[in-house]
Amino acid sequence: MLVSEASIAEHTARLTRGVRVVEDNRLWPPIVQGFVSETDPAELVAVVHRLITLGHLPDFRRTFHALIQCLLAGRIIEYQRSQDLYMAACDAELLPIQMLLLRAPALLSARTNDVLMDLTLRDIPLGTRKTMARSNDRTILTRLALDPAVSVVTILLDNPLLVEEDVVRIVARRPNLQDIIELVAKHPKWSLRLTIHEAIVSNPYTPTTLAAAFVPFLNRSQLLEVSCDGRIHTAVRDVARIVHQWRCEGMSIEQTPDGVVYELRPAELDGSPLDGASEAPANTNLEH
């Protein structure tokens, strides 16, 4: 099915407007879910392609984030609809969008016992560590950033004294647990930060589908670095290479009244700018 540029622009504008008027990003997934369920598969794939291509612009970046959070929250459409979207992405040869509809495991995996906590906390019971995660002592919070317990990290991420550097440590450590990385990726505050995006993408313990989903948030220099990083999954490197190519094309798209015109204001959450399914084996032969 051929999709006109005018139709793509119209659908994209409708979706971005819907996301833009809602300041709380925790409310974005339902907006996207309705759009995903109602739009023709070929047109929807074209819209997502446009969001990624123009991801250097705040409105497009914000809307793609809403789409990712919709998928991570489990608000996904029925299986047949997912299949239709996957086939539309395959027909258009758009690997970054195909990856959004797969469930590919991480290149590397770890067990809980493989992820060591700070030695000073090793003998402290879980309940006590959860209480400590609410502390206003920066030394304690820094040590808890290495805690492998999801219940501890869940509390820690909401501590107002936690800083971006702490969260990067939580995500970037190796070995790491998939549940910990996914917890940060779903967080309404920390999932917006560019440094967090890079840490998610660059960790070989991140599920491949999740890493590929966060690739479009990277800037062009980061995309180049990821595309050449032999420590991460080949599929993630391929997605980074393709998105970099799309982004270069997007930088040259002229914004005209007949095209896409948006108010390019920074999206903020807690004072931070928005800088930021079927089985597949853990190899490059990803199957839907």
If you average pLDDT over residues 107-117, what whole number do you get? 94
- Distance, CA of 276 to chain centre: 10
In Å, how far are 1, 18, 28, 267 from 263, measured between CA atoms?
A: 32, 14, 19, 11
Range among 30-39, 44-53, 70-79, 272-281 rated most confident: 44-53
If you average pLDDT over residues 88-115, what whole number do you get? 94
Which of 206, 232, 260 is a domain's end point? 206
In Å, how far are 85, 116, 178 from 7, measured between CA atoms?
A: 17, 52, 39
Answer for the pair 43, 7: CB distance below 8 angstroms, yes or no: yes
Q: Which residue has the higher pLDDT, 180 or 275?
A: 180
Looking at the fold, whether 119 and 245 belong to one and the same domain comes out as: no
Looking at the fold, whether 230 and 185 belong to one and the same domain comes out as: no
Rounded Cα distance, 272 and 48, in Å: 25
Q: What percent of the chain has pLDDT over 70?
A: 85
Count of domains forming the chain: 2
Looking at the fold, whether 179 and 278 belong to one and the same domain comes out as: no
Which of 206, 240, 260 is a domain's end point? 206
Domain that holds residue 199: 110-206
pLDDT at 66 over 80: yes
Looking at the fold, whether 101 and 66 belong to one and the same domain comes out as: yes
pLDDT at 256: 38
Q: Residue length, the chain?
A: 288
Close Cβ partners of 23 (under 8 Å, ≥ 6 residues apart): none
pTM: 0.84
Which of 145, 176, 206 is a domain's end point? 206
Name the token pair of 123. 């003998």
